Amino acid sequence: MALDLEAIYTDLHRNPELSYAEHRTAGIVADHLTALGLEVRDGVGGTGVVGVLANGDGPTVLLRADMDGLPVQEETGLPYASTARGTSPDGEDVPVMHACGHDVHVTCLLGAVDALVADRASWSGTVVAVFQPAEELGTGAQAMVDDGLYEHAPRPDVVLGQHVTPLPAGTIGLRPGPSFAGADALTVRLFGRGGHGSRPETTVDPVVLAASVIMRLQTVVAREIAATETAVVTVGSVHAGTKENIIPGEATLGLSLRSYTPEVRERLLAAVRRIVAGEAAAAGAPAEPEVTIGYSFQALVNDPDATARTGAAFRAAFGDQGVADPGLITGSEDVPALAAAAGVPLVYWLLGGEDPQRFAAAFAAGTLDSDIPSNHSPSFAPQLHPTLEHGVEALVVAAREWLD
C-alpha cells in the first residue's frame, strides 16, 4: 500500500481542527493505520491515536506527530487553503489554520509507517506511532500519558520526532542538549477604579497601569537576565475597556515567557510578579493584581548520546551538508513528556520546509525575517516537495537506526 502523501496533506491542510477537536484528523489517521495492519487505539488523551507495529524481537521506537491547528486566518492563497472555523476554549468562533505545520507531521508519520510496513523484512522490533492532540496547549502529550499511553502500547527505548520549519527543504536541524525553550503562559489581571473619561482624577486607570507594566516588563530580559542566558518575555494580548470615554475597571494582559533552565524560569516569574505588584501599588490600585499560569511547556533537551547516534545516521543518509545545528530554538514543544514518562532518551529535530532558492535569496539579502514566513504566520506554507518525502525518509532513517 503506497499512500498518496500529497492528497493526505492537502486534505489535512484544508480541514484543520483545534486542540482536542481533532476528530476528523484522528479518524483519517486511524483508518490509514488500520489499513496498514497496525494495532490501533484511538481516543487516547481525548483524540489521540496510537498505532503499534510489532515485527519480532528488538527495540521499541516511538515516533510522534501532533495533529492540532491554530486559530489563525490563512493568507497563503493556496488552492487548498483552509476556510475552516472552530470554537476556541472561551467559546468564540475563530478561523482555523495549520499554521504550525502539524499537517506535515501527520502526513510524514503516516508515510513513514507505510514505508516501514513495506520493508518489514529488513528490520525487527516494534514501532509505536503516536498521533498526539493539543500540542499547541502544551497538554496533549501528558494527557495521552495520563490516559494510559504506555498501557495501550509498549514502553519505548527512545522517542523520536520532528517539526517542520522554514529551513531549506531537504535539510535537518539537530542539536544535542537544550534545544527548544520551556514556556509559560500567564494571565495578568490589573484592577483599577472605573469612571467617566472626562474625569480621570476620580479613577484609577487600569489602561495606564497596563501600559506601565508592559513597558517595565521589557526591562526584565535586558536588565535581569545575564547576557550568557537566553530568555523571552512577550506581552501578546491586552484587553481593557468598551468605549473611548469610559475608563474601565480592569485590564487583562496575556504573557508568554521562554527559558531553557529552571533557574532562569524562576527569575522570570519572580520578576513578572514583582513588577506587576509594584506598578499596581504605584498606581494606587484598589486591589492586588492577579497573576495566573495558564499552561507550561518544559524545556526540550535532546539526549546527547542518542542525538549523536541519530545524527550520524542522518549524515550517512543525507550527507554532512544536509544536517546542521540550528542553535537554540525559542519555540516550545510538549513532546518531552512522552520521553520523561517512559524514562528514555528523546531526539527531536527540525525538518526544512522552505523553497531552498527562496531561502538562499532572502539569506543573501538579509531579509529572512521579513521574506520567509515562520510557523504561526498566516502565510506559513511549507513547500510540499521534497518536504514530505524528506520528512518520511528522516523518520524512517531515525527509526531504523534504533531498530534491529
End-to-end CA distance of the chain: 23
CA nearest to 9, candidates 84, 109, 87: 109
Q: Give yes or no for a contact between 322 and 315, defined as CB atoms under 8 angstroms apart.
A: yes
| Residue 136 marked ligand-binding | yes
Q: How far is CA 296 from CA 203, 258, 353, in A?
A: 35, 10, 27
Q: Give yes or no for a contact between 100 and 404, defined as CB atoms under 8 angstroms apart.
A: no
**Domain 182-296 belongs in CATH node 3.30.70.360:** yes
Catalytic residue (choose from 68, 184, 355, 393): 68
| Residue 102 marked ligand-binding | yes
pTM of the model: 0.91
Burial class (CB in 10 A: 0-12, 13-18, 19+), 16: buried
CATH of the domain spanning 5-179+299-402: 3.40.630.10
Residue 95, preceding peptide bond in cis (omega within 30° of 0): no
Q: Give yes or no for a contact between 400 and 123, defined as CB atoms under 8 angstroms apart.
A: yes
Backbone angles phi, psi at 373, to 5 degrees: -60, 140
| Rounded Cα distance, 21 and 86, in Å | 9
Q: Give yes or no for a contact between 138 and 66, defined as CB atoms under 8 angstroms apart.
A: no
Q: Is 329 helix (H, G, I), strand (E, B) or coil?
A: strand
Q: Is the dihedral of CA 9, 15, 16, 18 positive or negative?
A: negative
Q: Which three cell numbers stand for residue 229?
A: 542566558
Q: Under the phi-then-psi rule, with left for phi > 0, alpha for psi from -120 to 50, and beta for the rest, what region is 296?
A: beta
Q: Among this protein's residues, is 68 annotated catalytic?
A: yes
Neighbours of 163 (CB within 10 A): 26
**In tens digits, what is the pLDDT along the chain, a chain of 404 residues?**
589 999 999 999 999 999 999 999 999 999 999 999 999 999 999 999 999 999 999 999 999 999 999 999 999 999 999 999 999 988 999 999 999 999 999 999 999 999 999 999 999 999 999 999 999 999 999 999 999 999 999 999 999 999 999 999 999 999 999 999 999 999 999 999 999 999 999 999 999 999 999 999 999 999 999 999 999 999 999 999 999 999 999 999 999 999 999 999 999 999 999 999 999 999 999 999 999 999 899 999 999 999 999 999 999 999 999 999 999 999 999 999 999 999 999 999 999 999 999 999 999 999 999 999 999 999 999 999 999 999 999 999 999 999 99
Could you tell me where the DSSP H helices lie in 49-197?
Answer: 102-118, 140-146, 149-152
Q: Give yes or no for a contact between 351 and 390, defined as CB atoms under 8 angstroms apart.
A: yes
Q: How far is CA 109 from CA 51, 240, 351, in A?
A: 11, 43, 13
Q: In one letter, which amino acid is 398?
A: A
Q: Which three cell numbers stand for residue 102?
A: 502539524
Catalytic residue (choose from 22, 42, 114, 135): 135
Q: What is the pLDDT of residues 69-116, one digit of tens each?
A: 999 999 999 999 999 999 998 899 999 999 999 999 999 999 999 999
Q: Is 50 helix (H, G, I), strand (E, B) or coil?
A: strand
Locate the domains of the chain by residue range. 5-179+299-402, 182-296
